[in-house]
A and B are shown apart, each in its own frame.
Chain A
Amino acid sequence: MTDRSDEECVRQCRSGDRKAYDALVERYQRTIYNVAVRMVRDRDDAADVTQSVFVKAYEGLEKFDDRFKFFSWLYRIAVNESLNLLNQRKRFDGLEGVDIAETPEEGMDDESLERESGVQSGLMMLKTDQRAIIVLKHMQGLSYEEIGQILDLPLKKVKSRLFSARQALREILKKKGVG
């Protein structure tokens, strides 16, 4: 099942094979969860966002334009769902930008934890569109072109937004004494 390409899974899913979608969940849940964690920080929220992304993608599979890559589409939903959650959070409990205790990955030493916590705090202080572009570029390793497709931005705008996001993050981290 895991050998099937995304396109093949989508096609089979459209013809009623639900197992084909399960393969896509298996393949991308970790990636999407990581985007969500970096966007919203709280891990419970990130799990909710990840679930919501896959449910929405499943519900909208008919609308998926298969000239594009399936994972780009998932990324786009992930960014949108994260932004929705952040907007909700900002509206209702003012948590946006507040430090939430970092859950360390297993085996991480204190120094790495402190550095990552600092980076994540810095990310949370960026504007959400800047944060999204940093996450896609640096934590997901996507190209300018892929980011443009996900965020529906022209290449020039991708670069200018990325460069200004890095500039802003540099200033924030400098003030925090990180890196």
Chain B
Amino acid sequence: MDAKTKDLLNRDVDGAVTEADRQRVGRLLKSSAEARRFHAELTRLSSLLDGVSEAVPPVHLANRIRAAVHAGESPAHPRSGSWREKMIALLHPPTSLRYGSVFAGGLVAGVLLFMAFLQPLDNASVPDGAATGSILARTESINVAAGGASGSVRVVRLGGASELSIRITLARGIMTRFSFDPSRISLKGIRGPETPSGSLTVREGVVELAGTGVQACTLDLIPRTPGASVAVSLMAPEGELLRKTIPVTE
């Protein structure tokens, strides 16, 4: 079968043929077994692909996106001037403004986080800069967002040990810090960061993941006492933007 015929049959399956083409297809299918087989296979593939179900996005994705989109905004930016000037101001604010807005964002995040703690964790409405999550049987997963950084932390408890993994998109100047009491938790191993742009700093009771863009790492933890927990913080140069304490023992 030549390329033109294949093209015609492909377009027919896509419903992109003229009336004259359709008649040609009809004649072809009558006269050629090869064309019939090719057309049938294409139709089957097409309906297989068209029938793939729609994936449902995570419940808080829209909120997370809105938080990330608006995280770089500051009310200090002037509203007058051209759009170009506004965008330049928005994307390249002076350092003091940038740090100021991050700090202000941190304060707002703190208040919102406090409010989030007062509400059920599976609350469908997630304020900007908050930590949310859900508790499953032996797994806890938390979404975090503040200062233009956002991602999720997952803790899996595995018979005496815990695996804490984070995948986060870090904005410039923001890093993730894990802190824990070394007398209550042993750090048995670290996997990551996954990209060369990411870096890990490990001190006693503290692990810091830095870099920009998507970063990820996994900590293997052995809790020594019941009720041991790890604090996950998003840190800006001025201090902590967000803090969430996650139990690593049940």
The stretch from B37-45, B102-110, B223-231 touching chain A is B37-45
Distance from B67 Cβ to chain A, minimum over Cβ atoms (Å):
9
B196 to chain A, nearest CB (A): 7
- CB pair A25–B62 under 8 Å, yes or no, is yes
Given contacts A44-B167, A88-B195, A166-B42, contact A18 B70 (CB under 8 A): yes
Residue of B11, B57, B58 with most chain A CB atoms under a 10 A cut-off: B57
Given the contacts A105-B55, A159-B10, A159-B11, A62 and B45 also touching, CB distance less than 8 Å: no
Q: Is A116 an interface residue (CB 8 A)?
A: yes
Q: Is the CB of B73 within 8 A of A93?
A: no
Is the C-beta of B124 less than 8 angstroms from some C-beta in chain A?
Answer: no
Q: Is B49 an interface residue (CB 8 A)?
A: yes
Instruction: Give the nearest-CB partner of A162 in chain B.
Output: B10
- Contact between A52 and B169 (Cβ–Cβ < 8 Å)? yes
* Stretch with Cβ within 8 A of A (4 or more), from B84-92, B93-101, B181-189, B237-245: B84-92
Selected from A34, A58, A62, A120, the residue in CB contact (under 8 A) with B69 is A58
Number of A-B contacts (CB under 8 A): 120
CB of A51 within 8 A of CB of B41, answer: no
Across the interface, do A116 and B53 meet the contact criterion of CB distance under 8 Å? yes
Is A86 close to B, CB under 8 A?
A: no
B125 at the A/B interface (Cβ < 8 Å)? no
Q: Interface residues of B toward A: which range?
A: 35 or more
Of all chain B residues, which has the CB nearest A135? Answer: B49
Q: Which of B63-93 contact A (CB under 8 A)?
A: 64-66, 68-70, 73, 79, 83-84, 86-87, 91
Q: Which of B7, B48, B73, B83 has the most CB of A within 10 A?
A: B48
Contacts of A144 in B (CB 8 A): 14, 16
Q: Does B6 contact A (CB under 8 A)?
A: yes
Q: How far is the CB of A124 from chain B (nearest CB, A)?
A: 13
> Which residues on the B side are within 8 Å of A46 (C-beta)?
55
Name B65's contact: one of A16, A51, A108, A178 (CB within 8 Å). A51
Q: Give the size range of A's interface with the partner.
A: 35 or more
Instruction: Using CB atoms, name the residue of chain B closest to A107.
Output: B53
With A46-B55, A92-B195 as given contacts, are A16 and B64 in contact (CB-CB < 8 Å)?
no
Given contacts A54-B68, A92-B196, A170-B41, contact A115 B48 (CB under 8 A): yes
B residues neighboring A (CB under 8 Å)? 6-7, 10-11, 14, 16, 41-42, 44-46, 48-50, 52-58, 61-62, 64-66, 68-70, 73, 79, 83-84, 86-87, 91, 150-152, 167, 169, 194-196, 214
Given A38-B55, A119-B52, A170-B45: 8 more A-B contacts, CB < 8 Å: A30-B57, A37-B55, A43-B55, A51-B169, A108-B53, A138-B49, A163-B7, A166-B42
